[in-house]
Amino acid sequence: MPNPFSLSRSTEGNLSVIHLEGYLDAHTAPQFEHAIQEEIDAGRYRIIVDCASLTYISSAGLGVFMSFIEEVREQGGDIKICGLTPKVKQVFDILGFSQIYDICDNHPDAVHRFAESPLREG
C-alpha cells in the first residue's frame, strides 16, 4: 500500500509528542490508542499529536482522540492536535471535533499553546 501506518514518540521537556504517519483506520487505531494509554499510565498528560504526515483518518482514529480527552483534561493536561492536512482536517470539521479539540497549525504553535496555559483544567 502507498501509505502504511507508522507512529513515533518523543518528549520535549514536559510535553509528549506523538507523530502519526500514513493512515489511521480501524486497523491501525489500536496502535495509536496504545501509545496514548502509555503516556497516561506514565502520568504524562500534556500530549501533542503531530498529524503533518497523516494522510487519512476514519472514525476509528477519531475515536481514540474522543475517548481520552476527558481524562487528560481532568488531570490538568490536554491533547493538542497539529499539522492537519486539509483532507484530514475536513473529517475533524464534519464531526465537530474542531470545537472540542485545540487544533493548532503546526508543532511550534502547539508548544506555545501549552506554554500559555500551563495548568489548564478540564
Partner 1 sequence: MESIERKFTLRFPSSTENLALVREFVGVVASQAGMDAAEVGKLELAVDEACANVIEHAYGHDTSKEVIVRANFNDEAIHIHVEDTGRGFDPASVTSAEVERLVLERKSGGLGMRLMKTLMDEVRYEIEPGLKNELHMTKFLKKKKSDK
Q: How far is the CB of 105 from partner 1 (least distance, A)?
A: 21
Q: Is 13 in the site for partner 1 (CB under 8 A)?
A: no
Q: Is 64 in the site for partner 1 (CB under 8 A)?
A: yes
Q: How far is the CB of 27 from partner 1 (least distance, A)?
A: 4
Q: Is 59 in the site for partner 1 (CB under 8 A)?
A: yes
Which residues lie closer than 8 Å to 111 by C-beta, 6 or more apart? 12, 15, 48
Phi-psi region of 29 (alpha: psi -120 to 50; beta: other; left: phi over 0): alpha
Number of residues in contact with partner 1 under rule CB under 8 A: 27
Ranges within 80-109 binding partner 1 (CB under 8 A)? 87, 90-91, 94-97, 100
Among 12, 14, 27, 115, binds partner 1 (CB under 8 A): 27
47 pairs with which residues across the strands? 16, 79
- Do residues 90 and 59 touch, judged by C-beta distance below 8 A? no
User: What gap in Å lies between CA 72 and CA 97, rounded to an integer?
Assistant: 16
